[in-house]
Amino acid sequence: MGQQTEQGQEDILKRLKQAKAIAAKVGDRYVDISALETKSQETSDTLGQGQQTIEPVTVESPEGLGIYRHSTSHIMAHAVKELFPDAKVTIGPATEEGFYYDFDQETPFTPDDLVKIEKKMIQIIKKNNPFVRKVVSKADAIQLFKDMGETYKVEIIEEIEDDVVSLYEEGEFVDLCRGPHVPSTGRINAFKLLKTAGAYWRGSEKNKMLQRIYGTAFANETQLKDYLNFLEEVKKRDHRKIGKELDLFSINDEIGAGLILWHPNGAIIRKTIEDFWRDEHIKANYSLLYTPHIAKLNLWQRSGHLDFYKENMYAPMEIEGADYELKPMNCPFHVAIYNSSLRSYREFPIRYAELGTVYRYERSGVLHGLMRVRGFTQDDAHIFCRIDQIEDEILNVLDFTLFVLKTFGFEQYDIYLSTRPEKYVGSLDNWEISTNALTKALTTKELKYEVDPGEGVFYGPKIDIKVKDSLKRQWQCSTIQVDFNNPERFDITYRGADDKEHMPIMIHRALMGSLERFFGVLIEHYGGVFPLWLSPLQLSILTVSDRHIAFAQELVDLFKKNGIRVEGDFGNEKIGYKIRHASMRKVPYTVLIGDKEAQTATLTVRKRSGGNIVYNSREELLDFLKQEINNKT
């Protein structure tokens, strides 16, 4: 092994074995354990001349878990080929949640097929087949996979620029792969196949639909069980399921995929969110705007959206000889309002905010309830300011954002600073000024963040805040973006203190992002058990018999007059049925009206969380409800 001694090599292998390594990290490269066991010239080239550090990679590390899962996907492909010889293999990467593999299989895989595949995988694992890496010429690899009838592998290899490629053999199964892999199939301890789905080859609708099998794998059965329990909880909280149960929203094929119908229960929650949003923006010195849903196509050419977002825009419509476009963004409209009059440096900062509905084309395969739609409302805002005001405005937006997120129950979040992408507009100097301003604001607020290289938008760098829900899942919601592009493209100016024309800076900002998506996240965060201030129905008043209806109706009228979302259930059903009905609708508080309540005016209130509270008067209950609503607890 180059300058390494035999004893040195044995020591390394012993250390890897003691660490229960599944692979090794040599310098900045990950390699198979077998690469350290062989003395071939290829190994010497891989490891260099013994000057690089060699570290064990275990399944407990993120990199090791990825290798472990990728190896499991190979075992799954092996099992599929044994059970379904005519299936053609394509690609099978590891993912953050597990792994998948795509197959060209005419008949979709069934749940019973997954059971059979799992059993076959267990057999392969028990054989403890070694993963053997082989480097062959590109030409030989093409011929090998042609002979096997694996046309997708041939297509992939033909696009590889190198003259050689690496293959991995495991038992009788051969696959194209860079590796590395676990030493043998027996190292896989816990896995589960989860579901199947359709997936287009290379993600293009122009290509053939393939069959994708999703799975996951963990170091041990306990971790796997915990993850499967987590998936069950995710399934229970699915916003589409809860949305139907609570009658919050729907999507209708006659209207179109990705277009949301807000039902009364969902609409009242949306109104509550919007009222809060507008009130807080007015307090924060924003001016509220309303803008059209369409504009001339030239507007999007001038803003740059046609160059950078054309694939997400709908086909133009012709109106009186001019092309118009459904708006994908609100910003050009806000610029037009800014430009509607001359501006002075004394006016800054100018803060515009709008709940503006936009339309973007999303492929049908990625549409997902409220989370991925084609028409949605952004809580959009644009701040026009002088260059010396950038940092203060970003600090204000950060405070505002975190206040709003906390109000909705999101206490945990991750922050990312996204820098200049490959395709961008504007000068490098402006990009540096913008990036430095964002960085300094985060540092001033002592907020931890990660740099996300190259993930900025085409017109400027940005801060993204991803909230963590009650299941610790990340959701992209808030964003702050500095923009020199639109001011330049639209010739935005103001009269400075020196009586000369200057260009202001524009900050794009969304606190919640899409209202539809944010609502979907809220549903799953709370599991449909909304806090009182957001609940579509806050109070349900139930009667034991008809003789209690008059008193109960007085209560309904009183609470409704005072802004409480209340409903009376005065039907002939038994009280137990009424209580269960209110519980299924996740009503926070339920008042039971019987003889005692009607005669004494005391109110027994059942809490959604369990237990009863007795209030001495209707006014006492009203004060309690108002206080909880105002506190937004």
pLDDT in tens, 563-577: 999 999 998 899 999
Using pLDDT thresholds of 50, 70 and 90, give the confidence band for residue 177: very high
Does residue 382 carry a catalytic annotation? yes
Burial group, residue 231, by CB count within 10 angstroms (0-12, 13-18, 19+): middle
Active-site choice (69, 240, 360, 548): 360
Distance separating alpha carbons of residues 124 and 513, to the nearest angstrom: 47
Say if residue 42's pLDDT is above 50. Answer: no
| β-pair type (539-543, 589-593) | parallel
Distances (CA, A) of 71 to 114, 126, 190, 372, 594: 18, 15, 12, 31, 65
Distances (CA, A) of 288 to 117, 236, 302, 401: 58, 38, 24, 17
- What DSSP character marks residue 572? S
String of DSSP letters for 133-158: EEEEEHHHHHHHHHHHT-HHHHHHHH
| φ and ψ of 337, to 5 deg | -70, -40
Question: What tens digit of pLDDT does each residue of 239-296 get?
Answer: 999 999 999 999 999 999 999 999 999 999 999 999 999 999 999 999 999 999 999 9
Query: Out of 38-42, 545-549, 583-587, 600-604, which region has the weakest mean confidence (pLDDT)?
Result: 38-42
Does residue 74 carry a catalytic annotation? no
In this prediction, what percent of the chain has a pLDDT beyond 70? Answer: 96
Active-site choice (153, 239, 305, 462): 462
Paired tokens of 259: 């277009």
Mean local confidence (pLDDT), 15-23: 81
Active-site choice (378, 389, 481, 538): 378
Question: What tens digit of pLDDT does each residue of 363-401 get?
Answer: 887 889 999 999 999 999 999 999 889 999 999 999 999
pLDDT at 138: 95
Say if residue 2's pLDDT is above 70. Answer: no
pLDDT at 51: 56
Using pLDDT thresholds of 50, 70 and 90, give the confidence band for residue 9: low
Active-site choice (181, 239, 372, 382): 382
Q: Residue ranges of the alpha helices (H) in 284-372?
A: 297-303, 305-308, 331-338
Say if residue 220's pLDDT is above 80. Answer: yes
Mean pLDDT, the chain, integer: 91
Query: Out of 23-27, 320-324, 534-538, which region has the weakest mean confidence (pLDDT)?
Result: 23-27
Categorise residue 331: left if φ over 0, alpha if ψ from -120 to 50, beta otherwise.
Answer: alpha
Nearest-CA neighbor of 93 among 210, 196, 212, 187?
212
Using pLDDT thresholds of 50, 70 and 90, give the confidence band for residue 113: very high
Q: Which residue has the tokens 């030493």?
A: 183
Say if residue 39's pLDDT is above 70. Answer: no
Say if residue 105's pLDDT is above 90. Answer: yes
In this prediction, what percent of the chain has a pLDDT beyond 90? Answer: 78
Mean local confidence (pLDDT), 354-371: 91
- Beta bridge partners of residue 549, listed in sequence order: none
Residue with the bigger pLDDT between 43 and 606: it is 606
Does residue 70 carry a catalytic annotation? no
- Beta bridge partners of residue 55, listed in sequence order: 25
Mean local confidence (pLDDT), 198-213: 90
Domains by residue range for the chain, with CATH: 6-57 (no CATH), 62-236 (3.30.980.10), 262-291+331-526 (3.30.930.10), 539-631 (3.40.50.800)
Distances (CA, A) of 517 to 50, 266, 362: 52, 13, 14
Does residue 360 carry a catalytic annotation? yes
Distance separating alpha carbons of residues 274 and 235, to the nearest angstrom: 28
- Sign of the CA dihedral 262, 263, 265, 271? positive
Active-site choice (70, 74, 305, 508): 508
pLDDT at 518: 96
Nearest-CA neighbor of 135 among 177, 166, 174?
166
Does residue 378 carry a catalytic annotation? yes
Please tell me the pTM assigned to this model: 0.87
Helix axis angle, 549-561 to 618-631, nearest 10°: 40
Distance separating alpha carbons of residues 137 and 132, to the nearest angstrom: 16
pLDDT at 40: 43
CB-side neighbour CA atoms (13 Å) of 172: 7
Q: How many CB atoms lie within 10 A of CB 91?
A: 20
Active-site choice (69, 113, 331, 483): 331
Does residue 275 carry a catalytic annotation? no
Does residue 548 carry a catalytic annotation? no
Residue with the bigger pLDDT between 431 and 522: it is 522
